[in-house]
Structure formats: structure tokens, C-alpha cells
Chain A
């Protein structure tokens, strides 16, 4: 844990110097990330995602001139510490640290600043952060004083804050607009690495404080199901790739919130956590690939197929295993109806991913770097041809850091 100070220092210094030469920012971000990297397969995967994000920033004429590297590095460091920290204050701090850099990133584009997008995004994010923080504190307080009513209020605030933060329905107002109007590359960061921390923190808070399980699982599962439906219906009725992907994010967040409700069952939480994290990995990798494609307005055909099929949840690609683990955790925890709805939703999602395939099929004219990165994302999706025991094992290791011990 003591490394966090060093990493943050390195990031700050390199970020400041990157105004002179942007690659100082890249070096600083890499060093800070590698300093924090730990011997855990899941975190290594997240590190790979961070590195792809860093590499993809090269595809835009960043007006942030190297600070964007620092920001991605910052999000990654926050993510690692969110996994390992057991103090509430630190966790909530990390939640903010992972969220704030995206405010700046979303405004970046090739031609200057996009303030109107930034304002819209920031408004929602600030509301989300406030709700989440108050909700989390209320939940911890309520579980210490065992006052059920207060706990319900806290949980509702937390889950609504979480939904706004990650863009789950029915609080997904900002997602399609921002995804469509902002530059694709920052969006690929927002849609990938920035999504981990909110869920990890939420998992920790829910699993260490839960009471009144029936009510909170009902709230959570209704939100999850609404999010899936809203996302899939929205994607089915969208034409532009960026909008389709925005709604697909909404649907994916619904799947992960479904896994979150299993956090009230001690014995299956490892499975739900593994499923949620793998689904986040799938979502991140796929979104990075597709948004680079949108940036280039073209993608290699085979890779497009692999990414889209993985989103559909076709075995043995990563998207299948993530849904499988989420489904098994739901089935184990006896939320059969959520499982069945999740299944129907994943079937509903087929047509629009096929539309995505068609959009990018046989397109030409992408840059070399983009092609490499997209190919890399496709290869990552193929990692799970061998059943991913590693995710279950890392999840079991991380279980010992779930309990929040005081402030």
C-alpha cells in the first residue's frame, strides 16, 4: 500500500513535465502502473487494458499533450487500490480519483475542447458521486446502528449513484449523447478502465454491510433488469455504431448489477465477483476495439466478428464465460427469474451486434497502430478458449479484501 504515494508522486511530476514532451507523461504513467501491479491475473488483465488505453491515446492529436497519459495512469492506480484497500475513506477516495480524470478526458478531441459534452457529462458525474458517497456512508452507519430504514435509503442512493456513474438504465440519460458526440478515444477509456472502481467499491460496501436482504436484492434486481431491457431496446433501435455501443454498455452494466445483488450471499460472492469482473473485462476490451474502429471509421473484418460474437456471448469467447459465471451465481443464489431474464436479454442483443459486424465488414483505411490494437483486443477475447480458472482463483484471492474494516 505504501507504493501508492510513490505512484501518485510519479504521476504528478510526469504529468507536470509532460507539457514539455508528452512522452514523459507516458513514461510516468507506465512506471506508476508497473509499480502498483500485483501478482494477480485479474489485475494483470486490467493492466493490459490500461496499456492498450495508453497506446490508443496516440491515435488522437491530444490537446492534453501528455496529461491524458497521466490521467489513465491515475485511473489504473486507483483501480488497483480499490481492489486491495479495506478502509471506507480510502475506497471512496479512490472512487473519486477514478472518476475525476474522465471529466477532462471527455472534453479532449482532435480540434480543441468540447465543452458542451464535458458539461453534460460532468453534471451527471457529480450527482452520481455525491449520491454514491452519501449512500455508502449511510449504509455503513446504518449497519453499525442496525437501523433498517436508514439502510434502505443509503442503499437506494448508492445504487442510483452507481447507475448514473457507470451509465446503467434507467439513469443512462447521458450515455448515448456523450458516447456519440465525444471523441471515440477518450470514450474508449471511459467505457473501459474507469468502470472497474465503482463496481469494486459497491461490491465491498454491499457485501460487508448487508441487511434486509429481500428488499435490497429486489431493488437491485429490478434496476438490473430495467437496465438490460433499456439498453437492448435502445441498441436495437439505433443505427450509428457509437450509439449502439452506448446502449450496449447500458445493457452490460445491467448484467453486472445483476451480479452485484449476489453480494448478499456470502458463499457465492466469489462467483458473482468473478463474473462481474470478467464481464467488465469483456466490455472493456470490446469497447476499446470498437471505439478505435469508430475513430478510424474502419476495422479489420475478422477482428470485428470476434469482438461482436464475444459480446453476444458465444463460447468459447470471453463474453460467454462472463455471462456464464454471472448466470451461475444468480442460479446458485436462487435468483432464477433474474437469470432467465438475463438469458432472454442476451438473445435479444444478437441483431444489433450483427448490425455492427455488417457496418464494419470489409472496411479499409485504418492506420497500422489501430489495426494492431484491434487485433490485440480480439486476441484477448480468445484467451478464454481454455476455461478461465484464473478469474475464479483471483476472485477467491480478492475475497479476503472484501470486508471493510472501519474508516
Chain B
């Protein structure tokens, strides 16, 4: 019996029990549950243990439904568990503020909120342990519906319209992938990950297009800035770091079975990733809404993942680490944006911000850590960028043009990160009064920041990279 299996099951406790706990207790309970999950998964990760647990035998074309926990699942799993735990802590003061703003009764609303929040976080955690493509799809849809309802109830602006926009786009993404999945089932007579022999081009194409909507690539990304900007901040802090990146996880699973599509269209995917990253990166400079700005930066970061996909084994390591670093960085940043919203009652307009470091130094410094993660300075993002570059050299040799493209992408991330820092936290100090930030609004940010620093130091870094490399069969 592997520990990660418990990690898979204990979120159920949070889903069932948290709605019945009043006040801060629910927040701590949810957080503790996901912290436990995190510890279990990390210990499994370090000991390189994996598990499979058969659940049910469905008829063809679905085949064996089972749970699968291997190194890749663990790598995504501990990220999801840790970020969910921290955002759970942060949720309490933020949502309390939000409910008061909406004239709702916090006691009643928190019940709904905790149920949906924990379901949302847990469904993402379950998704990475699904051993059957249909099971994976089911968890994908559950996470979609939970996040949809959260936006629908508690979002900002025209929340109903935004929620439906989000639901329709991501649902199209999901079902396109589903048709691809069914094609796989038709070809292989099963959808169990361990018995799929090959994936045809048509199936791959459908899944890839679906996931390009979800990831998102440039073009189908229209839903993302809306959804991320208008969602309540704790939901943004899960949606942007964790959910959209799960598209990468799904692609990764298919890639590990049959990389044919990616290898065939390697150059196109690479260029598409570069274009996505650069265009969205330039888009960041133009934004005047704090959360919309972060949403564009998400699209830009997802371009990294596309680039990394096209770069062979080292690139795949890059995908995993990029997911983790983006999750840590972006959750910090969304929470910092939310902390300013909660502290200054809805302050999101960048034109009205500057020099906030004076008023809210703790948040400003946390945001700095977040941006360091994005631009790959002194945090786990650094390892990710290293592997992307390594994959680049492995794939294209020492070709100057590809190198320049990738370095250009990295530089843009750094540029917009620090330009945004300057716009919000430095420069002319405005006459906002010095506010007392609720401890729960800034402590979780530093905890995530601490983890992202720890991952570039031994022993964590060596364990971590070593485990992934062992799983992917070495060769680096």
C-alpha cells in the first residue's frame, strides 16, 4: 500500500467535512488535508515508489479502470496538493471579504464555497492519478464544473456571462479530446494507459487541438483572460497555475504512449509555442487590469510548455518542471493581486497603483518571488529553463536561430515581470493609507515561495530531477 494512495483518498475528508465546520476551522481543515497529501506524495516521489490499483472492469471500448501513481503523477500531484493547501488558507479572509462585498451571508455561502473548492482541488489531484483515459476525462469535467460554479456564484463583473464563456470553451476542449480518446479506444479496444499500443494521427490531432484550447495556445486563448480576471481570486489562483497546465499533463500522457504527432510536427509546435509566448508576453505590457495582466502572462508561460514539448526527452523534463515553477509563481502572483483587492477594497486598476511597496511591503516582496519564478531566477524555474535549453541543443544542435528565439522568449518574461513589479510596487508612492494585511493573506505566499527556493538546492533538487530522469529512462 503506497502512501500516495492515501494522498488520493484523504481529500474526500475535506470535501465532506469542511462544509460543516464554521469559520476559520474549515480553512485550516482543508489546508491540513492537502498538506498531508503533499507530504505523502513527496515521500513517494523521493523513494521513487509507484502504485496501480484496479477499480473496475468496464466493457470495451473503455477497458480496465484503475488508478496509476508513477513519478509523473507524483510530480504534478504534489504541486497541486501544495498550492491547493496554501490557497485554502488564503481563501478564508479573501472570500469573507468577497461575501461581505456581495451582501451574502458568509456562514451559508462558506458551506457552498468549501464544498466546491475542495471538490475542485481534489478533482485535479485525482486527474493525475487516473489510469484510464475515460477516468481522466471524467475528473477533467468535474474540475471544470466545480470551477464553473465558483465563477458563476462569486465572480466579478458580468460573472454569469464569463462563467458560461469559460464553460463552453473548456467544454469544447474537453469533448474534442474525448473524440480523440474514443478513436484511441477504437484502435486499441481499451483506454487503459498501460495497454494502449498506439495513437493514430487523427486521434492525436483531435486531442492536441482540444488541449490547445485548454492550455491555451494563441488563437483559442480568448476565454482565458476573461475567466482568470473575473473569477474570485482563490479560484484564479487554482485555475491559472494548476488547471490550464493539466492540458500539458494530458498531452504528456499521450506523448509517453506514442510521441508520433509531436515528433512529426516538432518544428511547427516549436514555432507556435514561440509565437504564443511572444505575442502574449507583449500583451502583458498593454494590460491595465492587474488580474488580466497575470492571465496574459499565463498564456505566455504556456508557450514555454509548447516549446518544451517539441524538444525530446530533456524537453519533457522541462515541461514537468515548467508546470511546477509556473504553478508556484502564478499562484503567488494571483494571491498577491487578490490581497491588494481585499486590502484596498477592489483595487485592480494598474493606473491607480504605484509604489505600493510602501503600504504593503509583505505582498510586494512575495510578488517579487512570484515574478522570479516566472522569469526563472534563483527558483525552480531556473532548472526548467535549463532543461528547455538542453533539449534545444539536443534537438536542433547548436543552431543560432532557435537559440535566439528561445532566449528572446525568456527575456520577454523577465522584462514584463520586472516592468510589472515597477508599475505596481515601486515608483511614485500614492497616498493610500498604510494597511494592515491579514496574516492569512500573505503567509501562504511565502510558504509557496520557500518551497520554490528549496527546489533549487540539494537534497530536494537532486532527488527531484533524478526521479524524473530515472522514470523517463535516463539518457540525459
Contacts and interface: CB of A to CB of B under 8 A. Distances in A.
A389 B186 contact: no
A347 to B, nearest CB: 4
Nearest to A334: B186
Interface stretch (A70-78, A147-155, A335-343): A335-343
A361 to B, nearest CB: 10
Which of A331, A344, A350 has the most chain B CB within a 10 Å cutoff? A331
Contacts of B179: 327, 331, 336, 339-340, 343
Interface string B194-219: 00000000100010000000000000
B145 interface: yes
A387 B65 contact: yes
B185 interface: yes
A320 B163 CA distance: 21
B319 interface: no
Chain A facing B: main interface SS: helix
A331 B189 CA distance: 13
Nearest to B180: A331
Contact of B178 (A316, A336, A343, A389): A343
A309 B160 CA distance: 16
A70 to B, nearest CB: 39
Contacts of B206: 340
Contacts of A328: 61, 182, 185-186
A350 B138 contact: no
Interface stretch (B5-13, B28-36, B164-172, B353-361): B164-172
B283 to A, nearest CB: 26
Given A331-B183, A340-B179, A351 B65 contact: no
Contact of B164 (A320, A332, A346, A351): A351
A354 B164 contact: yes
A392 interface: yes
Interface in B311-335: none
A314 interface: yes
B164 A386 contact: no
B168 A331 contact: no
Given A328-B186, A389-B58, A392-B59, A315 B175 contact: no
Chain A interface size, as a band, is 20 to 34
B182 A351 contact: no
A343 B168 contact: no
B142 interface: yes
Q: Which range holds the interface residue count of chain B?
A: 20 to 34
A324 interface: yes
A379 interface: no
A347 B144 CA distance: 13
B165 to A, nearest CB: 9
A211 interface: no
A392 B63 CA distance: 13
Contact of B141 (A314, A327, A340, A393): A314
Nearest to A357: B152
Nearest to B203: A331
A315 B171 CA distance: 12
B171 A347 contact: yes
B72 interface: no
A274 to B, nearest CB: 10
B143 to A, nearest CB: 11
Contacts of A389: 58-59
A331 B145 contact: no
Contact of B145 (A314, A339, A351, A387): A314
A348 interface: yes
Interface string A370-396: 000000000000000011010011000
B239 interface: no
B172 A387 contact: no
Interface in B30-83: 56, 58-59, 61-62, 65
Nearest to A274: B59
Contact of A347 (B56, B175, B182): B175
A346 B179 CA distance: 12
A332 B171 CA distance: 22
B176 A331 contact: no
Contacts of A344: 172, 175
A347 B61 contact: no
A389 B178 CA distance: 19
Interface string A319-331: 0100010011001
Given A327-B182, A348-B168, 15 more contacts: A315-B141, A328-B186, A332-B61, A332-B186, A336-B179, A343-B176, A344-B172, A346-B171, A350-B168, A354-B152, A354-B160, A354-B163, A354-B167, A358-B160, A387-B134
Interface of B: 56, 58-59, 61-62, 65, 134, 137-138, 141-142, 145, 152, 160, 163-164, 167-168, 171-172, 175-176, 178-179, 182-183, 185-186, 202, 206
26 contacts: A309-B145, A314-B141, A314-B145, A315-B138, A315-B142, A316-B138, A324-B134, A324-B178, A324-B182, A327-B178, A327-B182, A331-B179, A331-B186, A332-B61, A336-B183, A336-B202, A339-B179, A340-B176, A346-B175, A347-B172, A350-B167, A354-B160, A386-B56, A389-B58, A392-B59, A393-B59
